Structure 1
């Protein structure tokens, strides 16, 4: 019986992955959303997306904006942006977005150099892939 309980503990603890706050700089740069999964497991894939999400964070403070790639190898950018605060809390990491239009907080579920998953309070998951931009053309 003890072995079963230990096995279940190992399985459940390995399923939840703690975000390494020291690697939060991985969030900096351009990201494209690949899919959204709602709380019921329904998925919507984004095979073609002309908008990119740009994040810039230093010392847990920064901003997020939507940008649009142009054929001239430039981005169409406007002044609209969300301020961003990274909030580590109870072995979790939250991204608090706020602007003059309101605020919301998403949990950072996974972050690597190339992938990121955010989850809203409604349990909607947003899957992103990092985009390497070459603007030297």
Structure 2
């Protein structure tokens, strides 16, 4: 019952800001987390990230992968990927993540060329900005 209540609250709160399905291609690329807002309203800001998320989406399926940027503009990564699938219900876009340990969904709240935000079923909102590599070459 508690999960149903959280889901309904999440669904209702996300209806005000809709993302157009035509924008989903904007998710492709490198993203870094900038802020997390918790259910009680407290926020955690991330000024420096040691990893960024790479998202590759083709139609309504794709994957997310953690990448570690290097100062020369390249990335280190593992072979671990999280398959993702887009689900659209009542004009709300959900991103479904699947790992060998868990499956979960987040509501896509906003999306532009430079940023996006998602909210999970625990009412935690994640704000991402497009990653701009730092290239320090002589």
TM-score under structure 1 length normalisation = 0.84
Aligned residues: 122
Bigger relative contact order (CA 8 A; separation at least 6) = 2
Give 1:123 deviation, angstroms.
0.6
Larger radius of gyration: 1
Q: Does 1:69 align with 2:69?
A: yes
Q: Is the 8 A contact 2:117 2:125 kept in 1?
A: yes
Task: Say what the alpha-carbon RMSD is for the aligned residues.
Answer: 1.7
TM-score under structure 2 length normalisation = 0.83
Cα distance in 2 for partners of 1:66, 1:55 equals: 9
Give 1:21's aligned residue.
21
- Which runs of no fewer than 5 residues in structure 1 stay unpaired? 1-14
Q: Is the 8 A contact 2:72 2:134 kept in 1?
A: no
Q: Is the 8 A contact 2:69 2:133 kept in 1?
A: no
Give 2:38's aligned residue.
38
Q: Give the 3 Å change call, closer, same or farther, for CA 61–134 of structure 1 in structure 2.
A: farther
Cα distance in 1 for partners of 2:81, 2:64 equals: 6
Q: Is the 8 A contact 1:85 1:95 kept in 2?
A: yes
Q: Does 1:89 align with 2:89?
A: yes
Give 1:133 deviation, angstroms.
4.3
**1:118-137 superposed matches below 5 A:** 118-133=118-133
DSSP 3-state at the match of 1:22:
helix
- Which runs of no fewer than 5 residues in structure 2 stay unpaired? 1-14
Deviations 1:46-66 (A, max 9, x none): 011111011000011000011
Q: After TM superposition, what 4+ stretches of structure 1 lie above 3 angstroms from structure 2?
A: 132-135
Cα distance in 1 for partners of 2:114, 2:72 equals: 25
